[in-house]
A and B are shown apart, each in its own frame.
Chain A
Amino acid sequence: MEYCADPSTLEGLRWLACYLTTPKHQLFYLSFLTVFALLAITAPVVMIMGFGGAIARKSQIAPLRWLGTLYTSMVRGVPDIIFFLFVPIALDQLVEYARHKIKCPHITDPVYRGSEFIVCEAAKMPLSDSAAWVHNTWSFALAVIAFSLVFGAFAANTIFGALNAVPHSQLETARAFGLTEKQTFWRIHVPQMWTYALPGLSNLWMILIKATPLLFLLGIEDIVYWARELGGSKTGYFQYPHPDWRLWYFLALLVFYLLLTWLSGKIFNRLTSRYSLDHSSNPTKPLLKPIEAGR
């Protein structure tokens, strides 16, 4: 603490070291975790939604099929950003409206009054006396839901397409050997689906990474927020005044995102070769080119 005691007397590297470790900068570094948390939570949820959506679309049960089709085509037909803005607000109001009806049944005033949306204190989500982290977690959760809904639909499209891309003959063969529909699906259809889905899912993952700055748009203090906040010119009201350094902060984000996508690309390349159905690039490749099996 002594080291950085009086910022105005600091110079050069020492000033920079102190500047880069201010509590405000620590918030910036922590916000990277927000991005990772979003990715870590959203990705599996997206896969489940995608799988569910795709299976619904392929379902024998008509209403389920309609629901799946409606879901995927609705998201496909609307700009993502509309969803990212609409879903959190709509969900927030829906939850508060429901809580209002349950918790404050005695209040008969309408919730929507002109331009105002008013629910009773007990229905606020979160409650207005909740700690700041509760509020942050709530808005983060809403963002995760918005991301999952949108990317889940994309994933559903990809997986639906991949399921359809598996040659019919592969499945027919399974049935011809007495496998049940369920066994055929899980033992033949799904494992083979990955080959066709991986390029699309890899692409989707990249888009998801690149969409994380949308958190900023949802009012969440992510890395973009802090980069802009810290980079802006600082006058003498601040302990560490400096001119407009946004360029450097955004450059750091640029490098961060490049590293992240580069690393992801590597991982997906590995996955792709692992789930490939064409093993002929293997050194034990026979001299004769095998005939493609029923494709």
Chain B
Amino acid sequence: MTQFTSVARTAALAAALALASSTVFAETVRLGTEGAYPPFNFVNDSGEIDGYEREVGDMLCKIAELDCTWVKNDWDSIIPNLVSGNYDAIIAGMSITDERDEVIDFTQDYYPPDPSFYMALKGTGDDAINGVVSAQTSTIQAGYIAESDATLVEFATPDETIAAVKSGEADAVFADEAFLRKYVDESGGELIFLTPTVSLGGGVGMGIRESDTELTAKFNAAIDTMKKDGSLNALIAKWFDGRKDVY
């Protein structure tokens, strides 16, 4: 009899859960990312979206009780396609800037402001920052180089900006330190960081349509939770070579 009751109870619970989930998770939130910017986001060898933002995004959705799916989108059309409703949030290593804030809304940052670095072939002098510098299109780094004395060469993908330095097309590449770090570390001394660094942007946040204030609030609350319970720090430490106690 006890046996039966427990089975019945389990079934009832399962039914209740299913009902709950079908109401709570009714709305699917589509998360748009680039999938080409390790360690923030990239497509791993299994063909799945992976990286820091994958884990952060999944956890945020869990906390906010949202049913989330991932969508890949090229960087240069990532904001227009959010606006036209192809997905509901951008989570793609996008720095919070005033310019972007005019078009879309941002959540609070889930990755702190990070200095941008110059990376070049070994033996390159620091004066290369005034030479030909590559950067990804529509990034704050590209915006900064365009304003500086350097000559900007833009590429659609992060990978191409690095290929340009290796092939000698550009004297240096200008990007987030977190992105460049691995290339320098694994180059066996072929690639180096130049001395100058620049602080740009207000940290990395999620981009959300301006009309979608409810979703922004949900994610802001979830990010708060992750900051408080230390899970965000743990993920940062995991993906960014042991950076500790950021938040």
Contact = CB atoms under 8 A, between A and B. Distances in A.
Interface residues of B, number: 41
Interface stretch (B45-53, B111-119, B229-237): B45-53
Nearest to A241: B186
Interface string B11-54: 00000000000000001111000011011001111110011000
Interface string B159-182: 110110010000000000000001
Query: Interface residues of A toward B: which range?
Result: 35 or more
Contacts of A232: 36, 157, 159-160, 163
B130 interface: no
B103 interface: yes
Point out which of B69, B85, B162 has the most chain A C-beta atoms below 10 A from its C-beta. B85
B163 A244 contact: yes
Interface in B1-16: none
Contact of A113 (B30, B67, B159, B211): B211
Contacts of A119: 85
Contact of B209 (A93, A96, A116, A246): A116
A23 B203 CA distance: 34
A118 B82 CA distance: 11
Given A232-B159, A235-B186, A132 B43 contact: no
Nearest to B73: A219
A233 B42 contact: no
Contact of B83 (A96, A117, A239): A117
A37 interface: no
A24 B43 contact: yes
B19 to A, nearest CB: 17
A96 B69 CA distance: 21
A24 B47 contact: yes
Nearest to A240: B45
A13 B211 CA distance: 54
18 contacts: A27-B47, A116-B210, A117-B83, A119-B85, A128-B30, A129-B67, A135-B71, A229-B36, A232-B36, A232-B157, A233-B162, A233-B163, A235-B182, A235-B183, A238-B38, A238-B42, A240-B45, A246-B163
Given A23-B47, A238-B38, 12 more contacts: A22-B47, A24-B44, A93-B84, A96-B85, A115-B83, A117-B83, A118-B209, A129-B67, A129-B69, A233-B163, A241-B186, A244-B166
Q: Which 4 A-B pairs have the closest CB atoms?
A: A129-B28, A232-B159, A235-B182, A24-B47
